[in-house]
Amino acid sequence: MRWAILMLLIVAAAGCATVGQPGVTLPEPHTGNADATVGGYGYAGDFIAPQSESDAPIWGVRNGIVVGVPPARIGFGRDGGPRGLIRVGFEENGKLYFINFLADAPITPGGHIGQSELDHSPSDYAQGIRIFPYPTEFHDHFSYWRDREPPRLPNVATIRPGGNQAELDLVFRYETFPNGAKPYFSVHLRADRPHEVAFFFYHEAGTVEMNRNVLSSTFSNLARDRLLYLRDRIVNAHELWPAYRGANFAPIEFYPLAQLRRNREGDVIFAVRPDEERPWDGYPNYPHQHRLTQYWRKPHGTFDESLHGGVNGRYVYWKSTRPVPGGIAYENVGLVENFLEGQVQIFGYHFGEPEELFR
């Protein structure tokens, strides 16, 4: 996709690059416990976490957000989707439902862009950079874990009890990208914020430095998200690309910090939502029965003027000639900023009115 323009400081030559494109055909709808995962999933107090090797690599908050890495299947398709993508969904009444995929795009000096879904693995040469779950000690004791295989799945998560303050932490470690980057994310889930997951950005010592590392949601048109919430207006995808009927990505649109909306705490919130009142009616591939708002949140005091929001759109589904019902919708949604070790971005969802996010 044409994310690359902003990633390379608006270098026009990057317009042909692709980042985080969902290389999947439109799925058959799958929801529920057994159908939604490979091997089911486990509970650990207030959280979801593997309790045996047969459980899927899925972690989350009970009746809240869940994240997984391949081969986890969270309410999507027959095989869970492409390798190289973090899966995001939510649990409701003992079932898992799909929200989106997250793709990683580390950018190294010289403008070399990694693409977690499309790049080929250095270990088996298959498409998709492999993602491995490690305990949070990976970050604190990197020299110990550097050359060690991931532990057994039940030993990955660190859970800190504390009632409403309980937390679950782990690390998602990526293989080395072809551009030499080797990022990892420290992943944090909190019982008192059950609809959000925080990603802290790092790169492994001794590997190629990164100018940026872009984590973006990549399949927003499955939910037919068309409303984008900015500081002074709501932008419908139809307004941005009224005449676009192509089979590729509609041109990328970027919004500088001054145009991004904030809540009363000063956090930047970059949110999208369907424009249909009941988007699950009349079309079987909508993944749940909520008019759900997806958003990226950047806490107050953690950003500078380099922060931008970016979106593109699609009129037809990826690798398909099938039009998106109702016309063009947003596809890739994310925040782009200069890379700093330990910076944080938070992905979340909201069932209520979007305005509640900004209070």
Per-position DSSP letters for 94-129, written without gaps between them: TEEEEEEEEEEEEEETTTEE--TTTSBPTTT--BS-
pTM strictly above 0.95: no
How far apart are the C-alpha atoms of 60 and 64, rounded to whole Å? Answer: 7
Structural Rg of the chain based on CA atoms: 19
Q: What is the DSSP letter of 220?
A: G
How far apart are the C-alpha atoms of 277 and 161, rounded to whole Å? Answer: 39
Mean pLDDT within 132-149? 96
Mean pLDDT within 310-318? 94
Band of pLDDT at residue 287, cut at 50, 70 and 90: very high
Mean pLDDT for all residues in the chain? 89
- Assess whether pLDDT exceeds 80 at residue 26: no
Q: Are strands 308-314 and 268-274 parallel, antiparallel or unpaired?
A: unpaired
pLDDT tens, position by position, 332-344: 999 999 999 999 9
pLDDT tens, position by position, 257-266: 999 999 999 9
- Which residue ranges make up each domain of the chain? 4-358
CA angle 87, 89, 95 (to 5 degrees): 125
pLDDT tens, position by position, 226-279: 999 999 999 999 999 999 999 999 999 999 999 999 999 999 999 999 999 999
In sequence order, what are the beta bridge partners of 187?
170, 199
Instruction: Report CA torsion sign: 115, 139, 342, 359.
Output: positive
Angular region, 84: left φ>0, alpha ψ -120 to 50, beta rest? left
How far apart are the C-alpha atoms of 3 and 312, rounded to whole Å? Answer: 8
Band of pLDDT at residue 162, cut at 50, 70 and 90: confident
Q: Are strands 95-108 and 308-314 parallel, antiparallel or unpaired?
A: unpaired
| Residue 78, pLDDT score | 75
How far apart are the C-alpha atoms of 290 and 313, rounded to whole Å? Answer: 22
